[in-house]
Amino acid sequence: MVKHAIETQKPILDMLKKSMENGRLSHAYLFNGPVGSERMGVALYFCCMLYCPDVCLECKECTDIINNNHLNVTIIDKLPGKTEIVKDQIESLKEELSKTGLKYGPRIYIINDAEDMNSSCANKLLKFIEEPYEDIYAILLTTNKDAILQTIRSRCQIINLLPPDKIELKNTLILDGIDEEKALILSNIYSSVPACKKALETEIFSKSLNYARTILEMISKGFSNTTIYMKKDVDYLSDKENIEVFLKMLLIYFIEAKKKSNEIFKNDLELFNKIKINLTPIIDLIIKSQFNLRYNIDRSLLLINLFVEIDRRVIDGSN
C-alpha cells in the first residue's frame, strides 16, 4: 500500500516531505482521489514521515504504522454492518486524544471514506478541527471532496491525488497474467494494481459484469424486466463501494454498446448490434445515479429508481 503510493504519488509525497522540512505542515489534510489512488497509502506515508524522516518502511515505527499497531495512529472507518461513520466515533476519538499519549511523539487520526460521515458526526468533527490540539494531525480520505461539509473542507489543506494511467495499469495487469479483456475492464474501473487484484478475489466484479451484460441482453430483446431482475440483488449492492463498481461497469458497458464497439468487451459486438433503442438517455441516468451516490441518500431507492427508468426507456423505445 505505502510502497505503491511511493511509486504512483511521488510528487505528492515529495511535497509533503518538503512541507515537513520547512515546518509548514497543516494540522488537517483532506486527501481526495478516485478508488485505488492509494489514499490510505499516502496517509500512512505521512504518518511514517513524522516518525521516520527517511520513510524506510522497515524500522519499528514504520512497520507498526503500516500494520496498524502504532499507539499514536488511529484509523476511523465505518463500524461493521454500518453504512455511516457516526458521532460516537468522533466523541471517542476526542476523549482519547484529550488524554496524555502512551507514546512520545505526534498523534494522527485518519478518517477513511470521510464522505460517509453523517451530519451529526461531521458537525462534531468540525468543532474538533476548529480547536486543534498541539502536535495532533487530522487526515481525511475521500473519493469526493464536494461531499465533505464545506466548513470542514475550509479548515483542511486539500490535496488532490494524481489520477492513474489506465494504459500502464492495463499493461501491468496483463504482464501479471490477467487476460486482456479482464485487464481492460479492470483498468477502466479501478485505479491501481492492488485494487484490481483485490476485485478479482471478490464477487462484486464478476457479478457486476454479469448484471450489466444481462441488462443489455434484455434491452436487445425489448424486455422491460430490469427492475424485477435486479430487485433480488439490491440488498447485495447496498454497500457504497459495490454500487460504485456496479455503476461504473454499467456505464462502461452502455458506452461501448452505444459506440457499437468491442474495444473493451471483446466478445459482445453481436449483442451491441442487436440493440435498437437510443442508449444516450440511459447513459445520462447512470451518470446521474453516480452523482447522487456522492450524497447520503437511500442507496436501495437510488438503484430501484435507476432500474425503473431503464425499463421505462425500453418501453418508450419499443413503441
Which of 160, 192, 214 is a domain's end point? 160
Same domain for 19 and 153, yes or no, is: yes
Report yes or no on 175 lying in a domain.
no
| CATH code: domain of residue 89 | 3.40.50.300
Cβ 188 vs Cβ 166: under 8 Å = yes
Is residue 34 situated within a structural domain? Answer: yes
Residues 147 and 43 in one domain: yes
pTM for the full model? 0.62
Phi, psi of 278 (to 5 degrees): -75, 120
Classified as helix, coil or strand, 223 is coil
Where the chain has pLDDT below 50, the residues are 319
Digit-coded pLDDT (tens) for 174-205: 988 998 888 888 888 887 787 888 888 888 88
- What is the per-residue pLDDT across 246-275, written as a single tens digit (0 to 9) for each? 999 999 899 989 988 777 887 888 999 998
Element (H, E) at 76: strand 73-76
210 in the same domain as 91: no
**CB 96: neighbour CB atoms within 10 A?**
12
Q: List residues bridging with 105 in a β-sheet.
A: none
pLDDT value for 49:
95
Residue 100 structural domain: 2-160
Within 8 A by CB and 6+ apart from 45, the residues are 2, 5, 6, 13, 16, 55
Residues 147 and 26 grouped into a single domain: yes
Give a yes or no: residue 7 inside a domain: yes
H or E stretch including 306? helix 299-318
Tell me if 279 is assigned to some domain: yes
Residue 38: per-residue pLDDT? 85
Three-state SS letters, 123-172: HHHHHHHHCCCCCEEEEEEECCHHHCCHHHHCCCEEEECCCCCHHHHHHH
* pLDDT at residue 36, rounded to an integer: 67
- Is 170 within a domain? no
